[in-house]
Structure formats: C-alpha cells, structure tokens
Structure 1
Amino acid sequence: MAETQQNGIHIRPFRSEDRQAWEPLWQGYLTFYKTSLTPEVTETTWQRLLDQAEPMHGLAAVLDGSVVGIVHYLYHRSTWTVGNYCYLQDLFTSEEARGRGVGRALIEAVYEKAQADGASRVYWLTHETNTSAQALYEKVAARSGFIQYRKVF
C-alpha cells in the first residue's frame, strides 16, 4: 500500500520496528473490550501482520512522529461475490489522538486498499455500548442491520 497523509496524519503499513508502539495500542484495544490474550496469540498476531503471505494486514497512523492508531483487516471469500470481502477487525487510537481524525483516516485507508485489491465491501463490528465509535461509523458507512451470533470453543 502506498503511504497516505491526511490532515497531518500519516497512514502506512506496519514495519517490524513498530512492535513497541503497536503493542500498547493493541493491549489498550483488548482492555477496552475487557479481554486479554496470551503472549503467544499476541506474538502470532504481530507476525501475521508482517507476513506478506498472510491475508491479515495492519496499518499504523503516525501523528507528530508517533504511532497513535492501529487498524487490522483481513480478506476472505464470500458465497455472494467473486471477489473477496474485507473485514476490518480491530481499530484503536490512543487517548490523546481521539477527536483528531485518526480513526477516520485509518478506515479510509482500509477502504482505499480494499478497493485497490478488488474487494467488494469493507465491513466491521462494534459493541452496542461503543457509542463514541458509532458516532464516527455512522458518518463513514451504513449500518447493515445484521445481528451477530457466536459460539466460542
């Protein structure tokens, strides 16, 4: 992906040297959703994000020289289209970066990348209580109306 700049926010793919900046944001995301993962899962996730052969990708938002936001997305097949769908799985910005357009810039960068890669849609989930994120999401996408069900093993 070409790097982009919007309102002073630099969006670029993760680099191996981003690990120290990525992990606190990743842990902040997990804490927000009141969950935790083993170090093995975190390490595997990081390695997948850097592996060009993986369908999982990540972007960093850099503001004033610091990584202040992250997004993870992946491609998967669908029975409803020839091309892939793009699932925006995780989006998180640091507390000090909120309200500065970082989340929107990351979403738009995923849109740009997914469209260039031939995906027919980008979609994501958020918790019903995450009203501050929903305020942004209502501006950049349409609510699908679908309800998620799951069984965890």
Structure 2
Amino acid sequence: MIAVRKITAADEDAWHRLWADYLDFYKMELPQAHADRLFHSLTKGAPYFGFVAEQNGAVIGFVHGLPHPSTWSESGYCYLEDLYVDADVRSGGAGRALINAVYEEAKSRGLSRVYWHTDKGNQTARKLYDKVATLSDFVHYRMD
C-alpha cells in the first residue's frame, strides 16, 4: 500500500537520503546548503511544494512541483521538477501516485497544466510517463 502526503519537517532525513540518490542517478553534485534550503522551501510550500510516498511507514519517494505564471495561460502552470522513487521499490505505484498528487495540487490551485521532462534514456520512468501523460513534440533547449 502506497500513501502520499505533503512533505513535513519530520521527513528531513529520509528526503535527504533520497535526494542524494536522485542526484547520483543524474550524476549531479550540489552543495549541502542548497539541499537544506530546498527542503525548507518544500516544507513551507513556497515557492515549491512537495509530497512524499510512504510504504510500510518508510518514505520511499518524493516529488516537487513549482507553480508559475505563464504568458499562455491566465491561471498558470505547474512544473513537476523532481520525481524520485527508491530503486528497490520502483514499478509498485509510487511514481504514479506522486504524479497524481502534483496534478491534484495544481488543480486545487487553479493551474491549467502540469508538465515535466526527463532524460531520453530514462526508459523506466518513460514507461510510466507514456501511460499518464502526453509526450510533447517540443524540443528542450538550455543555456548554462
């Protein structure tokens, strides 16, 4: 059984462990101070909001949403920025439940769209994403 709820201060240790795993997955390094600030923002619910998934009382995943205005929508959009489920329990419904939590939160805020991106080689995630959302024809560009 998967339970999804808003992230709280009591989730800090579990979230930091999963955040480190998430960064390892994407071969990224960020300062600890950044993670600390992010977690604090998530527990405040602004500018980001977050949910965790629990199974048998253990936090096994998280998702972060970033609501923002849009020039194409009077109500704004929600960017699903981070989604991670512990590798040992993937394909058990936590990812879908976390996505649904973001969708419901966005809907409750009156936002007109939830969107996200992933690495094109992330086949495990893409199997789920292809079931719950529409693959966009847009190409992602960035400048670092």
Of residues 122, 128, 133 in structure 2, which corresponds to 1:130? 122
Q: Deviations over 1:18-74 (max 9, x none)?
A: 00010111111111111010011111111111124x120110001000000100111
Residue identity in the other structure for 1:122:
V
User: TM-score of the superposition, structure 1-length normalised?
Assistant: 0.92
Q: CA RMSD in A?
A: 0.8
Offset of residue 13 of structure 1 = 0.6
Q: Distance in 2 between matches of 1:81 and 1:21?
A: 36
Residue in structure 1 matched with residue 39 of structure 2 by the alignment: 46
Alignment partner of 2:75: what SS? Answer: coil
Offset of residue 134 of structure 1 = 0.4
Residue in structure 2 matched with residue 70 of structure 1 by the alignment: 62
Q: Distance in 2 between matches of 1:94 and 1:126?
A: 17
Alignment partner of 2:80: what SS? Answer: strand
Task: State whether structure 2 residue 15 is matched by structure 1 residue 22.
Answer: yes
Q: Distance in 1 between matches of 2:10 and 2:89?
A: 21
Residue in structure 2 matched with residue 150 of structure 1 by the alignment: 142
Q: Distance in 1 between matches of 2:35 and 2:105?
A: 24
**Gaps in structure 2 of 5+ consecutive residues:** none
Q: Distance in 1 between matches of 2:137 and 2:24?
A: 27
**Gaps in structure 1 of 5+ consecutive residues:** 1-7
Percent identity over paired residues: 44
User: TM-score of the superposition, structure 2-length normalised?
Assistant: 0.97
Offset of residue 113 of structure 1 = 1.1
Residue identity in the other structure for 1:50:
T
Offset of residue 145 of structure 1 = 1.2
4+ residue stretches of structure 1 with deviation over 3 A?
none
Residue identity in the other structure for 2:104:
E
Residue in structure 1 matched with residue 24 of structure 2 by the alignment: 31
Q: Deviations over 1:114-147 (max 9, x none)?
A: 1111010000010011011000000000011111
